[in-house]
Structure 1
Amino acid sequence: MMRGAGSESGSVAAEIGSSRGSGNDQLFDDVGRNSGTQDTVSGRDLFARVRARLRAAVGEDVFNSWFVRLELEEMVDGLAHLSVPTRFLCSWIQSNYAEKILSCFQAETDAVERLHFTVRVNGQARPRLQPPAEPAAEPAAPPPQPRPVIDGASLAIPAAPRGDALSGSALDPKMTFETFVTGAPNEMALGVAKQIAHAAANNTVSFNPVYIHSTVGLGKSHLLNAIAWAAGAADEKRHIVYLTADHFMYHFITAVQRQSALAFKEWLRRVDLLLIDDMQFLQGKSATEFGHTLGTLLTGAKQVVVAGDAPPRDLEMLDERVRSRLSGGLVVPIAPFDVELRRDIVTRRCEQAMGRFAGLHFPPAVIDYIAQVVVSHGRDLDGAVNRLVAANQLTREPITVPLAERTLADLVRAREIRRVRIEDILRIVSRHYKVPRNDLLSSRRSRDVVRPRQIAMYLAKALTSRSLPEIGRRFGGRDHTTVLHSVRKVEQMIKDDGDLAQEIELLKRMLEE
């Protein structure tokens, strides 16, 4: 049978610092080895001082982003056991701040030599991993093959490529080609995905690499899951790996800390089909490792499919060579859903709901209403149907347009009251033209800065209710006549240059989504 990775509730664990033997575990076996409650109190006092040092070292914003939920569980024989609530947070802190945290501990006490991180499950951290017992004397044997740790479960590196299909992040059995609703905005992406799955099932490579991108909730993850299921159904032993970016980061960081990085890389590079989701979240050394893996797989003619929320050129956390490789493959956008596709999706969800609940009925007028007013993305369409089902089941009120208006009011209102901010314009224009935000606000007059600045001012006038003097102040204290000149200049360029007109329309859509 095909299978995914281990459960998300598994614990991440790694130690940072110098090696030292372990004795008997005692909660908060702290400096001075006091007893009972005093140990607990002294451990907490010490950690409070460590947190204060860390806050001062990294700044208030960084501390509040990453360390507010960091807790001390125990201190045992020179090891401080720390816990956080999520895998991603654990991996990020281990990768970027472990040495700084250790230095803060050592500034307060000489008794802490190592750090150990775990993820709290249901509010509680797993106890620290026990050291292995001393083995009885045995004749010397060859060392075992290395085994990388993937989501808490050992995954054997086979002597030859075989077995272990679909190792990686868990796949959703509901996300198949049969359940994917298609329309004009996504039909090209669906066609490419089916061709990739067919080629992989026949041990061939189609377009390579393939990069699918869209804003949130338009079906990228659904397509990657569907490819994995369809390609793996023909042969359970085929090596198909689906990983979200945060899991890729976690796997790589954990392998490095467990000194099994080479085994992890070998396992990953033996795959026949690699699917990476949420590419925009990949960063740091994991992004570099992905670049190496991508190059190796492409050289070996292995299929790679990647999904992200922006085109490859906008993935600033990736090396230029990786962005170039992704851009050099097949880049497939998924456009925002039109009303026809939204209606088809709502119809499918309503049919599924009516199959589960006897007597449930969605009139065509209600389906049309949802498709017209819920315009953000597919998940909101699913949520709209679920809300109406819940309202009907709880109140026994028939599903009507008035009920939909009351039940879905916040989804509609969220779209109506959304306003484009000048800060959003600066961010999008800066990223699109690769011009630092500070340069857009500066007095620099070089062409590569002036034109994006003028376009940003034009968008501010077109998409916000700000006056010309207000826009001028937000763009580095410029006079309102400068803003007016920029607006008129861009309006003329739009008339004369069709490509620029399309480019500005793209920027507008990015800002209004």
Structure 2
Amino acid sequence: MRDDRIGEFGVGTSALRTVDIEEDRAMTVRADALLWDRVKRRLRSELGEDVFSSWFARVEFESADGASVTLSVPTRFLKSWIQAHYLDKLIGLWGAEISGIRRVELTVRGASRPKPLPKTEKPVAPVLGAAAAPTLLPAASAAPVSMASSRIDADTAGSPVDPRLTFETFCEGAPNRVAYAAARAVAESTAGRPTPFNPLYIHAGVGRGKTHLLHAIAQAALRADPGRRVVYLTAEHFMFRFVAALKNQSAIAFKEGLREIDLLLIDDLQFLQGKSVQQEFCHTLNVLIDGARQVVVAADRPSADLETLDERVRSRLRGGVAFEIGAPDLELRRHILESRYKVAQSQSPGLDIPSTVLEYVAQSVVSNGRDLEGALNRLVAQWQFTHQAVTMASAEVTLRDLVGAREPRRVKIEDIQKIVATHYNVSKADLLSSRRTRTIVRPRQIAMYLSKTLTPRSLPEIGRRFGGRDHTTVLHAVRKVEELMQGDQHLAEEVELLRRMIDE
């Protein structure tokens, strides 16, 4: 039975009960908001300002019940990253505030909760920052960059930028000096006035610092001009965003967002796949460069060797300037070890690795800077876990698989064709021709076999490089040579000789 009795102040009891419920709900919301503030303070304290601002500054509290908490984020990418790297920490911190919490759920704020920009404000697509995030913060030693006026477009947001990878932490030496100077020039240029070398193309083998330079450019450029629209993207991330935009029927917005960028940095271009994706990338390059916007691209080989890349893209890249980062020489290896050792000492007081051991590492680990850092990390871990001094003998055991390691030489199909043609006294044109004489067919088959066994190229790619042949022709050649080598020792020795000549 409904209670409509009039209270002391002339208000129905049911109405008073409704008011009480609403007040209780409001008090609960305020209490939960205060708990979220406490959790955020703990996150900031434990993770540091850079990581917190990058990952959690745009996380919002939604609701909480007896067993779970719901938080919201602006993008699916941010949701996936937090779930993969920080979910356990969130559960632990919320459990410390509310004893029954066992689960933290993340949702993506969708179209039902739009937060449009003022009509007079132009959207900006900033770099993702700080080892994982939708806001760029420079290294801890630099002044924080204010992002208060920036906005993130979920379709054109960039890949994460590591705040540790700055120009200050980059070790300059003879093998990378020109690429380093070009990168600094790009970072110091102003929006709308790109460098004369546009696009800038940097190529190097693994672990030589090309990604470090791109991260450093992104951070220095935004630090110098916070209003500059800077986006760092890996080729994989570019493909993912483009395909997602097609599926979501937002391709036009995706394209427009990319073409409003002032500085675009693309990493690992060798992984860019797909005809439509490459076409869109080419269109984006054309629009940005023709519109006086700066583009920087990095890959693991010269653009001419990116055989799966559309010729129009390669042509556009050749229109700029390309610099290679060479293998670190002894002086640079010493510099890398010295700088990383100082960082390790600041993090591990009491760490003492003899200079003779560091010199041994610099002399012996010659492949790339990443292996050098890995070698030093092993020695630090050895010191921490064994509580024994690092000696030359212990270092030799710890680093035995790294010592003397060389980056494998990249073999080109053109080199194979040239060496095989010279060895059999035929021309390269003969190998690529349709001639079927025995003096041509056998060298062609051997060249195809070596191309398959000495390079990572696929059968269709090899077929295209041999006069546009079908992949089944290449497969037949490979199997034929393998079969002949099993029964013909002389041929097997001849192929092994060719292999050694190619590897030299």
Letter matched to residue 314 of structure 2:
R
Please say if residues 275 and 306 of structure 1, whose CA atoms lie closer than 8 Å, have aligned partners that are also in contact. yes
1:336 to 324, 327, 348: 327
Task: Find the counterpart in structure 2 of residue 270 from structure 1.
Answer: 260
Match of 1:321 among 312, 329, 348: 312
Of 466, 478, 484 in structure 2, the residue corresponding to residue 477 of structure 1 is: 484
Aligned-pair CA distance for 1:366: 0.7
1:188 and 2:197 aligned = no
Residue in structure 2 matched with residue 254 of structure 1 by the alignment: 244
CA distance in 2, matches of 1:130, 1:164: 14
Match of residue 80 from structure 1: none
Cα 1:227–1:344 change in 2 (3 A) is same
Letter in 1 for 2:413: S
Query: Aligned residue for 1:230?
Result: 220
SS at match of 1:189: helix
CA offset at residue 199 of structure 1? 2.1
Superposed CA deviations along residues 99-140 of structure 1, whole A, max 9, x for unmatched, are: xxxxxxxxxxxxxxxxxxxx98879997998998899xxxxx
Match of 1:61 in 2: none
The alpha-carbon distance between structure 1 residues 130 and 302, as it changes in their structure 2 partners (threshold 3 A), is closer
Equivalent pair of 2:125/2:157 in contact (CA under 8 Å): no
Q: CA deviation at 1:434?
A: 9.2
Deviations 1:83-102 (A, max 9, x none): xxx98xx9xxxxxxxxxxxx
Matches for 1:284-323 after TM superposition, within 5 Å: 284=274, 285-323=276-314
Offset at 1:184?
A: 1.7
Is 1:447 aligned to 2:430, yes or no?
yes
Deviation at 1:317, TM superposition (A): 2.7
Coordinate RMSD, CA, aligned: 5.1
Aligned to 2:340: 349
Q: CA deviation at 1:430?
A: 3.0
Describe the SS at the equivalent of 1:409.
Answer: coil
- Would the aligned equivalents of 1:277 and 1:307 in 2 still touch at CA under 8 Å? yes
Give the Cα–Cα distance (whole angstroms) in 2 for the partners of residues 253 and 125 of structure 1. Answer: 29
Identify unmatched segments of 5+ residues in structure 1: 11-85, 91-118, 136-141, 156-161, 436-442, 463-470, 492-503
Q: Secondary structure at the match of 2:288?
A: helix
* Whole-Å separation in 1 of the counterparts to 2:162 and 2:343: 17
Q: C-alpha distance in 2, partners of 1:150/1:486?
A: 51
On the 8 A contact 1:201/1:231 being kept in 2, the answer is no
Q: Deviations over 1:148-191 (max 9, x none)?
A: 99999999xxxxxx955995112111111111112221111111
Write the distance in 1 (CA, Å) between the matches of 2:107 and 2:396.
Answer: 53
* Aligned mates of 2:256, 2:483 — CA distance in 1: 52
Residue-by-residue CA offset, 1:318-348 (whole Å, 9 max, x unaligned):
2111111112211111112222221221111
Paired residue secondary structure (1:332): strand
Indicate the residue corresponding to 1:408 in structure 2: 399
- Residue of structure 2 equivalent to 1:82: none
- Contact 2:193 / 2:292 at 8 angstroms: preserved in 1? no
1:150/1:366 CA distance change after superposition, 3 Å? closer
Distance 1:259 1:370 in 2: 53
Kept after mapping to 2: 8 A contact 1:472/1:482: no
Change (3 A) 1:445 1:214: closer
- Residues 374 and 149 of structure 1, relative CA distance in 2, 3 Å threshold: closer
Q: Which amino acid aligns with 1:191?
A: A
For structure 1, which segment, 472-481 or 451-460, has the greater mean C-alpha deviation from structure 2 after superposition? Answer: 451-460
Q: 2:350 aligns with which of 359, 370, 376?
A: 359
Matched to 1:390, the amino acid is A
Look up the match of 2:211. 221
Q: Does the aligned pair in 1 maintain the 2:278–2:313 contact within 8 Å?
A: no
Conserved 8 A contact 1:210-1:306: yes
Distance in 1 (alpha carbons) for counterparts of 2:249 and 2:361? 53
Contact persistence 2:232–2:265 (CA under 8 A): yes
Matching residue of 2:168? 178
**Structure 1 partner of 2:413:** 430
Rounded Cα–Cα distance in structure 2 between residues aligned with 1:301 and 1:264: 20
Determine the structure 1 residue equivalent to 2:66: none
The one-letter code sitting in structure 2 at the alignment partner of 1:377 is N
Structure 1 distance, partners of 2:281, 2:53, is 19
Counterparts of 1:95-114 in structure 2 under 5 Å? Answer: none
**Unaligned segments of structure 2, at least 5 residues:** 1-48, 59-75, 89-102, 136-148, 419-425, 433-439, 455-477
Q: What's the secondary structure of 1:211's corresponding residue?
A: strand
The aligned amino acid for 1:447 is D
Aligned to 1:392: 383
Count of paired positions: 357
What aligned pairs does 1:135-174 form with structure 2 within 5 A after superposition? 163-164=150-151, 167-174=157-164
1:501 corresponding residue in structure 2: none
Give the 3-state SS of the residue equivalent to 1:188 in structure 2: helix
After superposition, residues 460-471 of structure 1 pair within 5 angstroms as: none
CA contact (8 A) 1:246 1:282 kept: yes
**What's the secondary structure of 1:241's corresponding residue?**
strand
What secondary structure does 1:304 align onto?
Answer: strand
Counterparts in 2 of 1:383 and 1:373: CA distance versus 1, 3 Å: same
TM-score by length of structure 1 reads 0.57
Q: Which has the larger radius of gyration?
A: 2
Q: In structure 1, what is the Cα distance between the partners aligned to 2:133 and 2:332? A: 41
Secondary structure of the 2:413 match is helix
Gap change, CA 1:482 and 1:328, over 3 Å in 2: farther
Structure 2 length as normaliser, TM-score?
0.57
Seen in structure 2, the aligned counterparts of structure 1 residues 202 and 211 have a Cα distance that, compared at 3 Å, is: same
Aligned-partner residue type, residue 477 of structure 1: L
- Aligned-partner residue type, residue 322 of structure 1: V
Structure with more relative contact order (C-alpha pairs < 8 Å, separation 6 or more): 1
| 8 Å Cα contact 1:279/1:306 also seen in 2 | yes
User: Cα distance, 1:412 vs. partner?
Assistant: 3.1
Tell whether the 8 Å contact from 2:167 to 2:213 is kept in structure 1 after alignment: yes
What SS class does the counterpart of residue 205 from structure 2 fall into?
Answer: coil
Q: Give the conservation status (yes or no) of the 8 Å contact 1:459–1:508.
A: no
Deviation at 1:477, TM superposition (A): 2.8
Do 1:288 and 1:318's aligned partners in 2 also have CA atoms closer than 8 Å?
no
Whether the 8 Å CA contact 2:188–2:224 is kept in 1: the answer is no
Q: Please give the alpha-carbon distance, in whole angstroms, between the structure 2 residues aligned to 1:321 and 1:5.
A: 40
* Secondary structure in structure 2 of the residue aligned to 1:182: coil
Task: Check the 8 A contact 1:276/1:305 in 2, yes or no.
Answer: yes
